[in-house]
A = this chain, B = another copy of it.
């Protein structure tokens, strides 16, 4: 990339969201499951009052619940929507059960079929076959999944069609200005989601020199030429954990669970924690340095050295 092009990829959070995630977009996020959830982006979508999004993801923890409760979503394509720590997601339930704040469509998957849909799009094939979901009502009620006989063996198979979101949002430990990025810990469906999507926004804890990425190319999760925008935003995944940077802030999930059973409480929670702080800096300020510091790793655990010498 030319220097100009590189500089243009690095954007402030609000600008990246404004420019690349329009109303009506299908957005995949929460791709590493309970870790590396791009909560800062979700909160910015709420602040910018984005509407009619399709939310795509395996298990969303409370990220999807908040977006749904805030009225940002029209459709959910997922295997699980709730609060991993406490079960039910009240925002999601109210939308499905009572159409509040407005009705949403739900396309149910298992984790595996959601992953396969993204894989198919990433690989550029119209579908991938699997043996999961045979006999499940998820198959019976999801009209996009097809049951077919295998042309080789005659055995029944489920064909999962390609699922290509408009935009993927990934939170990672480090990226360079071109978007070459590296993450560690479980990565779930992150790589497939990025390759399946037209737009990729990478949010990183550390914006590093190009040489850091190139010192360890086996660690790269997504190459920069697939990345549209890079947002340098430490703590951008809070309250979800980022290995080597901060632990999960369980208290947030408990607090949200307790304060989301009634719709007015949930809206008050969003006002207090998303809208009123104004931006991510305001959110961190409200959390306070002491609380953040308490989430820091207790010790370093460095990876054993690896030598790429030649």
- The answer, among B153, B159, B216, for a CB contact under 8 Å with A152, is B159
Q: Given contacts A148-B151, A184-B308, are A303 and B125 in contact (CB under 8 A)? A: no
What distance in Å separates the Cβ of A57 from its nearest Cβ neighbour in chain B? Answer: 21
Chain A residues touching B, majority SS: loop
Give chain B nearest CB distance to A118 CB in angstroms: 15
Give A264-304 as 1s and 0s: 1 = Cβ < 8 Å from B's Cβ atoms: 00000000000000000000000000000000011111111
Q: Mark A102-146, 1 if CB is under 8 A from B, else 0.
A: 000000000000000000000011111111000000000000001
Give the CA-CA distance A305 to B206 in the complex, in Å: 13
Copies, count: 2
CB distance from A250 to the nearest CB of B (A): 13
- A14-22, A23-31, A88-96, A241-249 - the one binding chain B: A241-249
Is B129 a contact partner of A127 (Cβ separation < 8 A)? yes
Closest CB-CB distance, A146 to chain B, in whole Å? 6
Since A146-B151, A301-B310 are in contact, a sample of 9 more A-B pairs with Cβ atoms closer than 8 Å, ordered by chain A residue number, is A126-B155, A127-B129, A184-B308, A185-B218, A187-B218, A212-B304, A219-B306, A244-B307, A298-B310
